Chains A and B, each alone.
Chain A
Amino acid sequence: MSAECRTVVNVGPSHPSTHGVCRVLVELDGEIVRRAEPIIGYLHRGIEKMAENRSYLQVVPLTDRLDYVGSMYANWAYCRAVERLAGIRVPERAEYIRVIVCELQRIASHMMSIGSTGADTGAFTAFMYAFNQREQVVDLFEALSGSRLTYNYVRPGGVGADLPEGWVERCREFVAQHPAAMMEIDDLLFGNVICRARTKGIGVLTPHDAIGWGASGPVARGSGVDWDLRRDDPYSVYPRLDFTVPLGERGDCYDRGRVRLWECVESCRIVTQALDQLEPGPVQAEGLPRLLAPRPGDAYDHIESARGSLGVYLVSDGSVRPYRMHVRSPAFANLALLPMLAEGHTLSDLVVVLGSLDPVFGEVDR
């Protein structure tokens, strides 16, 4: 069939399965996708520009709005870059708390992703179950930071506030029940024959492409690329914690989704260990000026977010505001794979592939 006979379908920018505001221009041959071009930028809010006119502390709320499914990550990555730039040593307790909240955040974020795999394939109930788990994490975060979504919790030099009373017990309760709940979702979703049929062999990403295209996180690990910054470029207190990095073999949507699922189980293990090792102490570096003015220079630091390696590149000119902030967004790199992965599959698969890349457009478009 020649290109002229193809149907061009515009999926988005407001479409139930674009997970935000992505527009995918799809050229269809019947139902087969011949070309899918993601058009992004519908949520380009200019955060990088805004950061140039805000003090280092005032940027933290902005980073919340980057990856709004997992605000803690952007907080942390940004704070790490600031700390590197300003030479701040973070107290150990703060590091543990950061690890705990970020692993909980991973669960919350993956719940969204796994749930939307269900929603994309039409199993809405699984989404609800996953979201129930997410709500519990959100509750924990609310007790911690006072907000359900934009936490503004991890700050340069530590964290915003110490754990409230009874929080550790609540957290333990959550991680104790979470793996079993995950297994239920696994049975309901990834064990289901229809879901398998919908996700297996769809959107296969080869390890070579994954590396070349800069894919990271569960997307890369689903393809068997054994790369996890928590283990391979260890930061914070991760070297003291024991965890497995689940890997996929085929690089299809199923593997990506299931890597996320098992990562949640591993996160529970990490949280348990971190809670065990948590010791009292300060949660903010001492003697931190209200207005940070790091010496001129640039620094980059990255963490393993739910979507992959999330890096923040900061340039300082010695003033109290960053001269330039750039966010290396994993979702941005992962989304670039969509045309390659979706090609040759049907329109129904397109949404599954898009969902399996788990883009969050706050982060993609920044």
Chain B
Amino acid sequence: MTRMTIDELREHLCAAYPDLCPLFSVEFGDGVLLVDSARLREALEDLKELGFDRLGMVTAVDFGDEFELVYRLTSRSMRVGMFVKARVPRSIASVRSTVDLWPSADWQEREIFDLFGIVFEAHPDLRRILLTDDWVGHPLRKDYIDDSIIRRPDYL
């Protein structure tokens, strides 16, 4: 199958799941589906159904009060990739795991748990992965403080 354009993807998505359609936007040439964290799981299931068979990347961004979870999905059959984004509040940073949909989420979710402290419910083995088990804090949070960090001064 030839490479699908963003517009074709939008049409395809809208035809299959009309409720997801208004959430779809295009940013820097990539399709983005911005969903509510409550509906995240549902949307991901739908997209898997649609043919997005690879979960290339899961990561999170710290936006102060909220964390944004970013899922990068790729479809081999449609030859197209897209993002799914959802924001979770910092106070209850928890979201349903996607390991059962795509096993590749396993380590990546562990990494997010490790570095951001976002809890993935129903993850089979949610432990720290990169840091030592006794590490305190989640370094990629913007408010992470560690005495051992020597800040590089602002010097441009």
- Residues of A with Cβ closer than 8 Å to B? 40-41, 44, 46, 48-49, 53-55, 84-85, 209, 211-215, 225, 227, 232-233, 291, 297-300, 302, 309, 311, 313, 315, 320, 323-324, 326, 328, 332-333, 335-336, 365-366
Contact = CB atoms under 8 A, between A and B. Distances in A.
A84 B26 CA distance: 13
Contact of B152 (A53, A297, A323, A326): A53
A214 B70 contact: no
B83 A365 contact: no
Contacts of A232: 3, 76, 79
A326 B59 contact: yes
Nearest to A212: B103
Contacts of A313: 57, 59, 70, 72
B57 A326 contact: yes
Given A84-B28, A233-B79, A328 B56 contact: yes
Contacts of A365: 130
B53 A211 contact: yes
Main secondary structure of the interface of A (DSSP, over half): mixed
Interface in B51-65: 53-57, 59, 61-62
Give the 3 A-B residue pairs with the shortest CB-CB distance, closest first. A214-B104, A41-B130, A328-B57
B36 to A, nearest CB: 19
Interface in B12-54: 27-30, 53-54
Contacts of A55: 156
A84 B151 CA distance: 29
B131 interface: yes
B156 A328 contact: no
Given A214-B56, A300-B30, A53 B79 contact: no
A300 B57 contact: yes
B106 interface: yes
A222 B108 CA distance: 23
B156 A49 contact: no
B106 A336 contact: yes
